[in-house]
Amino acid sequence: MYSRSSEPVHFERDCEAVMVPQGDTVTLPAGSYGYITQALGGSYTVFVEGNLFRIAGKDGDAIGKEAPAPLELPDDASDEQVEQLVWQQLRTCFDPEIPFNIVDLGLVYEVELKHLDDGRREVDVKMTLTAPGCGMGDILVDDVRSKLEIIPTVAEADVELVFDPPWGRHMMSESARLETGML
């Protein structure tokens, strides 16, 4: 939520945004004012007229921010190098309401790389949500998919949302539990 440390922003152009936590896509008009409440993983959560919205990194220019740099990987990258970049990208996916990445929250259950006939790869991910009824579920899944599909050599990412086993705070990394006081 808005605080004195929140950075003020002015929308320089119309910008697609996702309402938090409902998950509805809206357009915030040029000329709007708001405050950045969270800037993690290349996306922004902004407080505008009493509501929270998530702005994708690719639209950062609408609020005066630069888009993230493209990812680089050698053409002959090994599966280990690709998997390392996959986990790095997963750590850039954040719940807009919680300042922890989905890996540290314990939401990623499985990652599998597959080779396709054309030499590129498919990444299969099984993940969950902190609560089954989370309105941001589809947004998080799309965020994971889009961040994995920009990895060189990855042709597609299949992200499956599962609820078995159910998520529990014991799945969080020790640092995330410590920071949230959930030890």
Strands 43-48, 51-55: pairing kind: antiparallel
In angstroms, the CA 43 to CA 139 distance is 12
Q: Is the pLDDT of residue 1 over 60?
A: no
Joined together, the tokens standing for residue 124 give: 């299969």
Give me the domains of the chain, ranges plus CATH numbers: 7-63 (2.30.30), 79-180 (3.30.300.130)
pLDDT-based confidence at 3, cuts 50/70/90?
Answer: low
Decide: 54 and 140 in contact? Cβ < 8 Å: no
What pLDDT score does 132 carry?
A: 85
> What is the Cα Rg of the chain in Å?
17
Q: Is the pLDDT of residue 174 over 60?
A: yes
* Span 112-160, pLDDT tens digits: 999 999 989 999 999 999 888 887 788 889 899 999 999 999 999 999 9
What pLDDT score does 83 carry?
A: 96
Decide: 124 and 114 in contact? Cβ < 8 Å: yes
Distances (CA, A) of 78 to 70, 73, 111, 115: 19, 10, 16, 11
Read off the pLDDT of each residue in 29-56 and give the average, rounded to a whole number: 92
Cβ atoms within 10 Å of 79's Cβ, excluding its own: 13
Nearest residue to 64 (alpha-carbon basis) of 33, 87, 98, 26 = 33
pTM summary value: 0.80
Count CA within 13 A, CB hemisphere, residue 11: 21
DSSP state of 101: B
